[in-house]
Amino acid sequence: MRSGAGRQQSMRYSYKTRGVCSMLIRFTLDGDVVRDISFLGGCDGNLKAISKLVDGMTVDEITGKLAGNTCGSKPTSCADQLAVAVRAAHDGKLAAE
């Protein structure tokens, strides 16, 4: 948790995915910076790599890079679901744990 005037508290979130192999995404949002991302289910190696690559990025950076990515014939992907999740948390549409 950060301290000081004008700073937001770190909050932990869980997002139930839709239309992909992973079942759940967990992450911490510290203001607009996303950290400590983990996926339950899905392609383990790829999702660990995505989690490491985007750790420390802002919500805008993550959504700019990952929103709209698809997986095979699916209209979404685990990466796209991460973008949806962090945007929902940032915009107050996802309750913190």
Q: C-alpha angle with apex 41: 35 to 45, nearest 5 degrees? A: 70
- Please, what are the averages of pLDDT over each run of 10 residues along the chain (97 residues)? 56 98 98 98 97 98 98 97 98 97
**96 lies in some domain:** no
**Is residue 30 situated within a structural domain?**
yes
| 27: CATH | 3.30.390
In a domain, 97, yes or no: no
- Whether residue 21 is contained in a domain is answered as yes
Domain total for the chain?
Answer: 1
Beta bridge partners of 27: 13
Q: Kindly give the pairing relationship between strand 33-40 and strand 24-30.
A: antiparallel
Whole-model pTM over 0.85: yes
Tell me if residue 46 falls in helix, strand or coil.
helix
Does a structural domain hold residue 5? Answer: no
Angle among Cα 89, 90, 94 to the nearest 5 degrees reads 20
Q: Are 83 and 18 in contact (CB under 8 A)?
A: no
Asked if residue 95 belongs to a domain, the reply is no
Domain range enclosing 24: 10-90
